[in-house]
Amino acid sequence: MDFRKIEQIFFLVFIGLNIFLFSIYWSNQHEQRLVTSSNQREDILQRLENDNIEVEGTISDDHREGYYLSAEQDNFVSLLSEPANQAVASTSNALDKVLTSYPNSGTKFDLKKSANSFKRLMADKEFILKGNEYTYLSNLSRKDDDLGKIIGAQSYEGIPFIDETSRVTMDIEKENDEEQVMKYTQTRLKEIEPLREKMTLYSEKEILNTLYINNNIPAKSTITNVYLGYFRTLEVQEKNVYVPVWFVNIRTPDKTTQIEKVNALNNQVITNNLVPKVENP
């Protein structure tokens, strides 16, 4: 790759990152004005309890670390053309950067041991491409006695991508009294690299406080889960920018599930933010 092309790539990423940072600033100024109050220093767990908001599990005040990341979505064309991947190619097709596969009958899966079954299949090179890059996500997977939607994703230094651009989704059904993989879809990221040095992230307690003072947690609801993952916040031509995001699952009083998202780098609510797309910076 010549110097001119490298220079152009860095220029695109630089412009895209600046647009992304400006969009956060604009969102902060126009959409996510924080509500301040004199009792803001009160412990967030006590404030939730005062509003009859339950919390399942424990909430941490630990500060983890994460990055701004850049990555490109794989279109699978070159992988499917490799001789070593012909078994997967024979049962799959790739369209719009999504690979869809209908495995041969008899691909077993044990929903009672989902993590082990997922790991076993990801190690099978005749079943999936680059499966060793994916880990099981219990927070996103759903299962009952006969059906399951099992989800896994790539990760970067221990933090998974909670984003449609990096995901394996397996549909599990019972056939002939055996649980089997009937179909799976796969998306994959390549050329994952940090755009800035590692940064300290806001804690679970801090982001819950932000959601609370912005009235994003209904009274008499239940916080069922809080988990961290990389999420796409900007698209610059073929490159995407990802940031660490806290996901908060809330069961509302009417028994529906509400998912809130908070940027873990700046503690801003991004639940309803669209992903800006820059075609020709």
Report domain extents, the chain: 3-68+195-278, 73-191
Q: Which of 63-72, 105-114, 241-250 has the lowest mean pLDDT?
A: 105-114
Number of Cβ atoms within 10 Å of the Cβ of 34: 14
Percent of the chain that is helix, strand, coil (3-state, to 5): 25, 35, 40
For residue 141, how many other CB atoms are within 10 A of its CB? 19
Closest by Cα among 277, 269, 267, 71 to 187: 71
CB 207 within 8 A of CB 246: yes
**Residue 23 per-residue DSSP state:** H
Condensed to tens digits (0 to 9), the pLDDT of residues 192-220 reads 999 999 999 999 999 999 999 999 999 99
Residue 247's nearest CA partner among 231, 258, 260 is 260
pLDDT tens profile 217-230:
999 999 999 999 99
**Does domain 73-191 correspond to CATH entry 3.40.50.920?**
no
* pLDDT grade for 236, boundaries at 50, 70 and 90: confident
Residues with Cβ within 8 Å of residue 106, at least 6 apart in sequence: 180
Residue 42 bridge partners (DSSP): none
Distance (Å, whole) CA 253 – CA 27: 29
Residue 273 DSSP code: -
The architecture that CATH gives domain 3-68+195-278 is Beta Barrel (2.40)
User: What are the tens digits of pLDDT across the range 133-143?
Assistant: 999 999 999 98
pLDDT in tens, 3-51: 555 555 555 655 665 555 555 544 544 444 444 333 444 689 999 999 9
Tokens at 150, concatenated: 């099992």
| DSSP per-residue string spanning 53-78 | -EE-S-------EE--EEEEE--SHH
